[in-house]
Structure 1
Amino acid sequence: MGYQEEPGPDGDPVKAAAQWLAFGGADKSRPVIPQLRSKFSLTTKSAVEAIREANLIRARSL
């Protein structure tokens, strides 16, 4: 399973950002919130939600 830079079929950019983050799409040398905001046009609140969702995705994969 990979990530999607565009919103998925349900049109949720937060879920797409969470998948991107969970599967290693972020540049680890840069802060993640600005990356999420620019790549997925998220608000800061939505970026934090995506981080939380990414953490859940990672936890489920263990």
Structure 2
Amino acid sequence: MTDASENPNTVAAAQWLADQKEQPAKAVPTIRERFSLSMKEACEACALAQKYRTARRAFG
């Protein structure tokens, strides 16, 4: 099993998603199309984006 942070497209999608003021209503289909990700990669990007948001709130 690979780590989501090993795929540059997954990381880019997570960063983009974390930077949005409001998460798109259909985040997974949106980032799948925008970043050419599989369903699994898009879900990993969503989870990673949440970690980014949490870290930003905790550490500024």
1:17 alignment partner AA: A
Within the alignment, does 1:24 sit opposite 2:20 as a pair?
yes
TM-score by length of 1: 0.73
- Structure 2 distance, partners of 1:24, 1:14, is 16
Identity value in percent: 35
Q: Could you tell me which of 6, 10, 15 is aligned with 2:11?
A: 15
Q: CA RMSD in A?
A: 2.2
- Structure 2 distance, partners of 1:61, 1:32, is 20
- Distance of aligned partners of 1:44 and 1:11 in 2 relative to their CA distance in 1, 3 Å threshold: closer
Structure 2: tracts of 5 or more residues without a match: 1-5
Cross-structure match for 1:42:
37
TM-score by length of 2: 0.76
Deviation >4 Å, runs of 4+: none
Structure 1: tracts of 5 or more residues without a match: 1-9
Q: Which has the higher contact order (CA 8 A, sep 6+)?
A: 2
